[in-house]
Amino acid sequence: MIAVTAVLGTLTAVLALLLAAAVALFLRLYADSNRRVDAARAEVASERARSDAHQAALRRYEVAFASISGRGELGERVLVETARALGLREGLHFEVQTDVAGGGAARPDLLLLVGDGRRVPVDAKASLACWAEAVETDDAEERLDALRVHVRHIRSRAAELAGKNYQRWADAIYGTVMFVPSDAAVVAALDTDPELLRWLLDRRVFLCGPTGFGVVAAAALFAATERVIVEDVAAVRAGAAAAHRAAGGAIDALNLSSTHLQRFVSARRRELEALEQFRAAVLPLSESTANPTPLPALRQADEIAVNGDSPVQGTPVHHDG
C-alpha cells in the first residue's frame, strides 16, 4: 500500500511538472503570437501610409497635368534641369520667364541665347495626361483613343504658340520650340498622326523631347561659347592697343625728361664754370685785402649719368666777402 501511494505521488508530481511546462510553453507561444500580430499590424500601417503618400502624389500630378500653370511649372522644371545637365548656365546660355514683348504678352518658359542678340523661345506647357493614360492601359482601343486625344492636345498647344508669334522678338529660328518632357510621348504622337510633323512645321512649331532639346541646346552652347571667345579676343586686342599707346606715351615722356635733364646738366656745368671764373677773378682782390681767411675752393658737382644710375648731386657755392 505504501509503495502504491509512493508511485501515485511520483506520478502526480510528474503530471504537475508536465502541466506546468505545458502552461509555460502555451504562454510563450501566446506571447510570440502577439508579437507577430503587432509586427503584422505595424507593417500594414506602414504600407497604408506609403499607399496614402502615393495617392497624394498621384493627386498632385493629376492637378499638375490638369492645369496649364501646373503643367508649366512641371515642364519648366524638367526643361531647366535638362539645360543645366547639358552644361548651360542661366544668364549666359539661357534665360527663364523673360518678357520678350513687354507687358507680359509674350513670356516663353525659356529663351536660349545664341549670340548677336538672337534668342530661341522654348515652351514647356504641353500636357502628358492622355499619354500617361495610354501607357497605363492594357486595352488597345483605349490606348489608341488616349493617344488621339494626346495628339489633339499637342495640336491645340501648338496653335496657341503659333498665335503668340514669339519669332517677332526671338527670331533665331523664326519659330518656337515646343518642349515635351518625354521622348516617348513625342514619338507616340508622331506615330499616331503621320501628318502631325508637317502640320507643326507649317506653323513654325518644333516639337521635341529632352533628346531633341539637347541637340538644340548644344548648338546654343557652341554659339554662346564662340561668342564669348570672340568677345575675349576683342577685349585682348583692345587691351593690347591700350598698352601699346601707354608704352608709347611713357617712352615719349622719358625722352622728354632725358632732354630736359641733359639741358639742366649743361646749364649746371656752365654755371659752375662761371663761378670758377668769378672766384679766380676775385682771388687777387682777396689777397690784396690781407684777409687771413682764404676763399673756399669751389666744389664741382658729381657727374650725372644720363641713364639714371645716379641722381644729380651738387652743393651750393660758399664764398666770403
Find the range with the poorest average confidence among 112-116, 212-216, 283-287: 283-287
pLDDT of residue 308: 46
pLDDT tens digit sequence for 180-215: 888 888 898 899 889 999 998 888 888 888 888 888
More confident: 262 or 168: 262
Percent of the residues in the chain that have a pLDDT greater than 70, as a whole number: 72
pLDDT of residue 311: 47
Residue 105 CB burial class (10 angstroms; 0-12, 13-18, ≥19)? exposed
Confidence grade of residue 320 (pLDDT, cut at 50, 70, 90): very low
Answer yes or no: is pLDDT of 93 > 50: yes
pLDDT tens digit sequence for 27-74: 888 888 888 888 888 888 888 887 777 666 655 555 554 544 455 566
Confidence grade of residue 318 (pLDDT, cut at 50, 70, 90): very low
142: CB partners within 8 A, 6+ apart: 133, 134
pLDDT of residue 54: 65
The answer to whether 137 touches 131, Cβ cutoff 8 Å, is no
Answer yes or no: is pLDDT of 306 > 50: no
Grid cell locating 248:
608709347
- CA–centroid distance for 191 within its chain: 37
**β partners of residue 243:** none
Indicate the pTM of the whole model: 0.49
Instruction: Report the distance separating Cα 232 and Cα 197, nearest Å.
Output: 41
Summary mean pLDDT of the chain: 75
pLDDT of residue 272: 77
Confidence grade of residue 319 (pLDDT, cut at 50, 70, 90): very low
